[in-house]
């Protein structure tokens, strides 16, 4: 459809057309009303007709009255024309000037006697005229569109929506043309004009690109090209080559999981169009390029004196990245001169991104609860209950790029087994060695002192401990830690002590428990003051069952009496 602007506006033609239209509308209205009356109202049931007859007749009369008023101006106008025509018939055969005067007089008479009629005709027509003009404008506008003419050498070669689209088409052409080194860059500088155009004439950038290529004069052929993230990758004349290659790449990452999403990480587009024949490659070559990599793996050979961080610095890559490419290379046994380090990893041309729901079990780490206790010396931590990890069923949504997980969102976690928290007793107790008899030690066994520190009893000229025995025999009597500390010795001693326990209390203080029957602790155990560590006996160099108890301060065996309450 052509624009009225282009053709010019002819008021006379338009008015004639408008008059015809209005007469037609009036006729149609009358016919339509009559049709409605004959086809619907007439067939109403008698009762309804009787009941509504009066109202109907009144309505009909009103409508007829309204219709007469509505059509009266037209009837009068028609009558007026009939009068004018009769007057003109009477002047038949008379000179032209006379006839024109008669016509003029008759029409003036008509207008004078019917001034009101002209006004009411005008009033009646004005809204109709406005409605018709609006309809015409709507019809024209709906088929017209503002577009950009792309003009080259004085000729419109295409129409697009925006100038940016045209620029994109030119870039597309350039990317299709410039493949060989040394070739001149294709230039194309059209002019633009904005115009109202038919919507169906507007092209997209691909169609315009084809138009431009066909103007370039080069040898061109139909082909299909691959665009990755909007950049031209390559084209082939073997139509239907690219899509199966893309499908295979996607399918290779599918596992068939129900809600799996498999797509290229890049935006990938196959464009069929005109390409310079020089830039079209064999279908197999293009397929190989698409499934290939953008760069190969590269390596660095470790030199004598190199360090992992030094190599990363020298190569200008991130140290963490080097570690990720070469797991364990920060360990000396894995970083040996002459070995190769992976420096850059091959990157596929197209990355396939897969998102799927995964289910797995995960340990729930236990927590540690601590309790303070003066029964243990400061600096000691006694595990009173071992912690145990719990277990949970986890459902997560994981995303992989080329098979490597890049993100994971946990959807739900169901605990199968609750973790058992570890309980640790932290020692707050102190041993005061500077002031003897402070009361920070307790008696290791109940009984009587059968031999004091320093006694000469025949077995040893200088007794370095205190012997505790029981009437009726001490064998099996419980021996308790005199103070909290760590067991540093718990075995048979062949030097005469028999079964011996040594406890280190820190600050250079130790207590020794000799001649035991059974040992209830092991080296490394942390014991609290008053905790049973052994039973008394008669192992080693003894004459009868008893506990030989020693207190050692900074390697010197001192009199236990100084510390016992």
What is the binding site for Zn ion (CB under 5 A)?
465, 467, 548
Nearest CB to Zn ion, comparing residues 73 and 560 = 560
Shortest separation between residue 480's beta carbon and Zn ion, angstroms:
18
Write out the DSSP string of 416-444.
Answer: EEPPBPEEEEEEEE----SSTT-S-S--S
Shortest separation between residue 548's beta carbon and Zn ion, angstroms:
4
- Go through 541-552 and write b for each residue having 16 or more CB atoms within 10 A of its CB, e for each that does not: ebeebbbbbbbb
Shortest separation between residue 467's beta carbon and Zn ion, angstroms:
4
Nearest CB to Zn ion, comparing residues 225 and 465 = 465
Among 277, 290, 162, 274, residue whose Cα is nearest residue 215: 274
Taking the CB of residue 436, how many other CB atoms lie within 10 A of it?
A: 15
Nearest-CB residue to Zn ion?
548
**C-alpha–C-alpha distance, residues 481 and 504, integer Å:** 11
**C-alpha–C-alpha distance, residues 446 and 470, integer Å:** 8
DSSP 8-state secondary structure symbol assigned to residue 302 = P
Nearest CB to Zn ion, comparing residues 147 and 465 = 465
**DSSP H helix total and E strand total for the chain:** 11, 28
Shortest separation between residue 460's beta carbon and Zn ion, angstroms:
7
- Give the HSE-up count for residue 272: Cα atoms under 13 Å, Cβ half-sphere: 7
Shortest separation between residue 522's beta carbon and Zn ion, angstroms:
24
Nearest CB to Zn ion, comparing residues 76 and 515 = 515
**C-alpha–C-alpha distance, residues 209 and 213, integer Å:** 6
Tokens coding 286: 């293009």
DSSP 8-state secondary structure symbol assigned to residue 199 = G
Angle, helix 46-90 to helix 11-39, in steps of 10 degrees: 150
Shortest separation between residue 560's beta carbon and Zn ion, angstroms:
11
Shortest separation between residue 430's beta carbon and Zn ion, angstroms:
28
Nearest CB to Zn ion, comparing residues 224 and 467 = 467
Shortest separation between residue 368's beta carbon and Zn ion, angstroms:
42
Shortest separation between residue 451's beta carbon and Zn ion, angstroms:
6
Element (H, E) at 191: strand 191-198
Shortest separation between residue 483's beta carbon and Zn ion, angstroms:
20
C-alpha distances out from residue 351 to 256, 267, 374, 398, 563, Å: 19, 10, 63, 16, 76
C-alpha distances out from residue 245 to 33, 229, 289, 474, Å: 68, 17, 10, 90
Element (H, E) at 281: strand 280-281
Nearest CB to Zn ion, comparing residues 527 and 547 = 547
Nearest CB to Zn ion, comparing residues 80 and 465 = 465
C-alpha distances out from residue 134 to 128, 137, 142, Å: 10, 5, 12
Nearest CB to Zn ion, comparing residues 356 and 499 = 499
**C-alpha–C-alpha distance, residues 528 and 422, integer Å:** 18
Nearest CB to Zn ion, comparing residues 210 and 467 = 467
Nearest CB to Zn ion, comparing residues 429 and 465 = 465
**C-alpha–C-alpha distance, residues 482 and 512, integer Å:** 10
Shortest separation between residue 533's beta carbon and Zn ion, angstroms:
18
Nearest CB to Zn ion, comparing residues 392 and 547 = 547
Q: Is the CB of residue 316 less than 8 Å from the CB of residue 256?
A: no
């Amino acid at each position: 459809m052509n624009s009225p602007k282009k053709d010019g506006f002819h008021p006379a033609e338009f008015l004639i057309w408008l008059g015809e239209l209005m007469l037609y509308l009036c006729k149609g209205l009358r016919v339509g009303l009559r049709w409605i009356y004959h086809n619907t109202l007439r067939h109403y049931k008698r009762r309804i007709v009787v009941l509504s007859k009066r109202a109907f007749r009144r309505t009909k009369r009103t409508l007829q009255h309204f219709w007469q008023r509505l059509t009266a101006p037209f009837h009068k106008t028609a009558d007026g024309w009939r009068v004018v025509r009769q007057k003109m018939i009477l002047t038949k055969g008379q000179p032209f000037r006379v006839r024109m005067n008669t016509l003029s007089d008759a029409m003036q008479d008509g207008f004078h006697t019917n001034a009101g009629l002209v006004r009411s005709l005008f009033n009646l027509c004005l809204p109709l005229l406005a409605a018709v003009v609006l309809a015409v404008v709507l019809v024209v506008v709906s088929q017209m569109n503002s577009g950009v003419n792309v003009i080259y050498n004085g000729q419109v070669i295409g129409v697009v929506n925006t100038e940016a689209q045209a620029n994109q088409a030119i870039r597309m052409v350039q990317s299709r043309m410039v493949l060989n080194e040394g070739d001149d860059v294709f230039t194309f500088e059209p002019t633009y004009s904005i115009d109202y155009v038919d919507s169906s004439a507007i092209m997209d950038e691909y169609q315009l690109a084809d138009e431009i290529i066909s103007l370039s004069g080069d040898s061109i052929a139909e082909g299909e090209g691959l665009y990755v993230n909007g950049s031209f990758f390559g084209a082939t004349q073997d139509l239907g080559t690219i899509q199966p290659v893309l499908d295979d790449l996607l399918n290779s990452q599918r596992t068939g999981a129900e809600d799996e999403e498999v797509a290229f990480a890049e935006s990938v587009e196959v464009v069929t169009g005109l390409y310079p024949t020089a830039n079209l490659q064999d279908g197999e070559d293009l397929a190989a390029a698409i499934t290939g990599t953008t760069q190969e793996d590269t390596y660095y050979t470790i030199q004598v004196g190199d360090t992992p961080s030094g190599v990363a610095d020298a190569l200008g890559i991130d140290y963490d990245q080097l570690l990720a490419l070469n797991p364990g290379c920060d360990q000396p046994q894995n970083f040996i001169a002459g070995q190769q380090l992976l420096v850059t990893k091959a990157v596929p041309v197209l990355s396939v991104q897969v998102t799927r729901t995964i289910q797995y079990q995960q340990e729930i780490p236990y927590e540690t609860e601590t309790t303070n206790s003066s029964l243990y010396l400061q600096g000691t931590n006694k595990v009173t209950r071992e912690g145990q990890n719990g277990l949970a069923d986890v459902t997560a949504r994981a995303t992989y790029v080329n098979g490597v997980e890049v993100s994971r969102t946990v959807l739900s976690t169901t605990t199968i087994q609750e973790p058992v928290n570890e309980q640790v007793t932290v020692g707050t107790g102190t041993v005061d060695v500077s002031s003897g008899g402070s009361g920070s030690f307790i008696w290791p066994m109940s009984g009587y002192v059968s031999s004091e520190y320093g006694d000469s009893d025949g077995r040893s000229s200088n007794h370095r401990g205190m012997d505790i025995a029981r009437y009726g025999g001490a064998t099996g009597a419980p021996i308790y830690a005199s103070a909290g500390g760590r067991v540093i010795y718990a075995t048979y001693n062949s030097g005469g002590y028999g079964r011996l326990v040594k406890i280190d209390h820190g600050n250079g203080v130790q207590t020794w428990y000799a001649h035991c029957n059974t040992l209830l602790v092991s080296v490394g155990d942390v014991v609290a003051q008053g905790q049973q560590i052994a039973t008394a006996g008669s192992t080693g160099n003894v004459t009868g069952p008893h506990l030989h108890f020693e207190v050692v301060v900074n390697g010197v065996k001192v009199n236990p009496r100084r510390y016992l309450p």
